[in-house]
Amino acid sequence: MKFNKVTPKVVEALLAIVGPEHIVLPEATDAMLRYTHDETEDLRYLPEVVVKPVNAEEISRIMQYCHQNFIPITPRGAGTGLSGGALAVHQGVILSTERLNKIISIDERNLQATVEPGVITQVFQEAVIERGLFYPPDPSSRGSCFLGGNLSESSGGPRAVKYGVTKDYVLNMEVVLPTGEITWTGANVLKNATGYNLTQLMVGSEGTLGIITKIVFKLIPYPPQNLVMLVPFRDEEEACAAVSRIFMAGIVPSALEFMERDAILWASKYMNIAVDLPEDILAHLLIELDGKDMDLLYKDAEEVYQVLEKYDVGEILVADTEKQKADLWQLRRNVGHAVKSNSIYKEEDTVVPRAELPKLLKGVKEIGAKYNFKSVCYGHAGDGNLHINIVKGDMTDDDWNNKLPEGIREIFRLCVSLGGTISGEHGIGLVQRPYIGIALNEVQLRLLKGIKQLFDPHGILNPGKIF
């Protein structure tokens, strides 16, 4: 794909659309800095210009212009992505949705809400909780990530295990296509058998098919009660095996998170809190149960204990206060930051059928031994979604750059052989792109590329991602 550069004439055209306050050029070094990276490894790409439109109409005009002039556009939410989706790898224009940040309406009669894509996930969650409503998807970055980004990557988070991922809450979206056309994808209804599912085609398309400008979410009643427990295991694979057993006992926890020993140690160190972890504890499960009725939760907890009795577990900590619960969650949510702060790393977002987790974990460690890398594993075990953080530590640059990719390939091949795939909630983006052929066959790739061509005939939207 041959693109044109952002000339002064292009800047002028963009400026006429968004206004001078809403454009950033590379000479504004400080203002530009945050647009050169997302949360993916230590990657940096400098765009030629950043524009911050305020609505679908401005985005439509920008898209039309760039479509006609073959200028690449990289859409960007909060820049918290972990697969490099918001990086301007072909330079050109970064289109930030940060000014589309309104909660347009919360419709309590229909349990729906209409929002713009630049609303922070947690802000939205708190706004609906005030009305007794619940928007469950909660990626670890929920305090800073945008709903539009969550949709683009089909984000999950701990509650997905009971409540589903972001895609399961979208009823309808307004999108601007790369050609500049504005359309809704569906209708504001819970069931829709009217034509192909454009809504779900757009969700998880990583900003390559269109830019989301409005979202209609469904909401559910807020479950007022919950119960959180931290279960220490003396064997990592046993912790993984227990996950599947809990579901088989008829319990659907609202979260079921796995953390390797190092994940907890690094997170507690990062947060500067003392954690007294016996030496023989190699992993933890963080289990949350939620619902309307506390008595029922205690009954469910009893059933969970009965499952856990069959394993070699340490003393189970049940969080009694809201503070204790918040602390446990804080610990879990900080694992990613902790690993990141500790070393250069790569994060793989593997996912397998949940009962295959022990095999995945064992395989990852064996592959690590073979390729001489250390990994810290944690994640949404209830979904079979294991985040594998490979830390550079004292690996040589040569091994890191040239040998490690073969190790990653082996991990991904293992996932696929177990019925899984290479990304559960982070997307393919830039960094998993070399591995897409492990997960998708030639037929699938042909269909994906055909769909891309249909939506974006000039290939201007987020080029260099997915395939």
Residues 129-158 that bind a second copy (CB under 8 A): 132, 153-156
Site pattern 427..446 for a second copy (x: CB under 8 A): xx---x---x--xxx-xx--
Task: Give the other-Cβ count within 10 Å of 106's Cβ.
Answer: 20
425 binds a second copy (CB under 8 A): yes
* φ/ψ bin of 250: left (φ > 0), alpha (ψ from -120 to 50), beta (otherwise): left
* Sequence-distant contacts of 306-313: CB under 8 A, at least 24 apart: 306/249, 307/242, 307/245, 307/246, 307/249, 307/251, 308/231, 308/242, 310/242, 310/245, 311/233, 311/235, 311/238, 311/239, 311/241, 311/242, 312/233, 312/234, 312/235, 312/238, 313/231, 313/232, 313/233, 313/234
Rounded Cα gap, residues 46 and 68, in angstroms? 23
* φ/ψ bin of 125: left (φ > 0), alpha (ψ from -120 to 50), beta (otherwise): alpha
Residues 71-130 that bind a second copy (CB under 8 A): 107-112
Shortest Cβ 436–a second copy spacing (Å): 7
Q: Which one of 72-80, 175-183, 304-312, 388-396 is the stretch in contact with a second copy (CB under 8 A)?
A: 175-183
What type of residue is 267?
A
User: Is 188 or 342 the residue whose CB approaches a second copy more closely?
Assistant: 188
Contact 154, 427 (CB under 8 A): yes
402 binds a second copy (CB under 8 A): no
Residues 239-278 that bind a second copy (CB under 8 A): 244, 247-248, 250-252
Shortest Cβ 166–a second copy spacing (Å): 10
421 binds a second copy (CB under 8 A): yes
User: Is 49 or 461 the residue whose CB approaches a second copy more closely?
Assistant: 461
Q: How many residues bind a second copy (CB under 8 A)?
A: 93
Contact 245, 87 (CB under 8 A): no
176 binds a second copy (CB under 8 A): no
User: Is 292 or 370 the residue whose CB approaches a second copy more closely?
Assistant: 292
The only residue of 17, 23, 351, 381 in contact with a second copy, by rule CB under 8 A:
351
Q: For 434, how many CA atoms within 13 A lie in the half-sphere containing its CB?
A: 7
Contact 231, 328 (CB under 8 A): no
307 binds a second copy (CB under 8 A): no
* CA-based nearest residue to 141, from 121, 124, 159: 121
User: Is 291 or 314 the residue whose CB approaches a second copy more closely?
Assistant: 291
Shortest Cβ 50–a second copy spacing (Å): 26
302 binds a second copy (CB under 8 A): no
Shortest Cβ 44–a second copy spacing (Å): 23
Residues 365-394 that bind a second copy (CB under 8 A): 380, 383-385
User: Is 94 or 289 the residue whose CB approaches a second copy more closely?
Assistant: 289
Q: For 262, how many CA atoms within 13 A lie in the half-sphere containing its CB?
A: 12
Shortest Cβ 230–a second copy spacing (Å): 23
Residues 186-205 that bind a second copy (CB under 8 A): 186-198, 200-201, 203-205
Shortest Cβ 263–a second copy spacing (Å): 19
The CA dihedral of 199, 203, 209, 215, to the nearest 10 degrees, is 70
